[in-house]
């Protein structure tokens, strides 16, 4: 059961909260509760931040363009081996470990995002990202394409054909 917390905000803080609430389609109270939850999670899980995405607010690995669920998805293709996943991404291992730790803390959130992503075909991607174009994938590769620059990777080359 939720509890009520009374807070005093400066007028400029209240206006900023109202703007965030409008952008998120929520009341100022709901937006405030969301921001508090995100701040608590950032405190509890190092190297994690929250960003807006086409799918809503999502946990991301700081200093990268990847959402936590994307790192977990890649890690599964590497047997949940943080070192192998980090090598694939050309990242320091601590970033992958941060994503995996967050996924342990919030498994339902991460699983839902992975499942949602699995339901997107190429047509859905083109609607979400006008002008998106397929990119070539090495023939015969059973692992996801290299992501050294941290760019998002397609999950199945067949979807791009």
Where exactly are the structural domains of the chain? 9-44, 47-160
For residue range 9-30, what is the model confidence (pLDDT) as tens digits? 999 999 999 999 999 999 999 9
| Confidence band of 129 (pLDDT split at 50, 70, 90) | confident
∠ CA 153-68-80 to the nearest 5 degrees?
Answer: 80
Q: For residue 88, count other CB atoms closer than 10 A to its CB.
A: 21
pLDDT value of position 9: 97
For residue range 89-114, what is the model confidence (pLDDT) as tens digits? 999 999 999 999 999 999 999 999 99
């Amino acid at each position: 059961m939720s509890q009520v917390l009374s807070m005093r905000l400066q007028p400029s803080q209240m206006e900023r909260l109202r703007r965030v609430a409008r952008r998120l389609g929520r009341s100022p109270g709901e937006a405030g509760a969301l921001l508090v939850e995100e701040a608590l999670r950032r405190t509890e899980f190092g190297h994690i931040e929250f960003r807006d995405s086409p799918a809503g607010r999502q946990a991301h690995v700081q200093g990268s363009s990847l959402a936590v669920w994307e790192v977990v998805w890649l890690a599964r293709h590497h047997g949940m081996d943080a070192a192998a996943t980090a090598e694939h991404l050309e990242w320091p291992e601590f970033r992958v470990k941060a994503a995996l730790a967050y996924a342990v803390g919030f498994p339902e959130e991460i699983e839902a995002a992975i499942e949602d992503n699995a339901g997107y075909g190429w047509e859905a991607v083109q609607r979400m990202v006008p002008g998106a174009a397929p990119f070539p994938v090495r023939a015969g590769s059973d692992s996801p394409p290299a992501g050294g620059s941290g760019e998002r990777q397609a999950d199945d080359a067949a979807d791009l054909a």
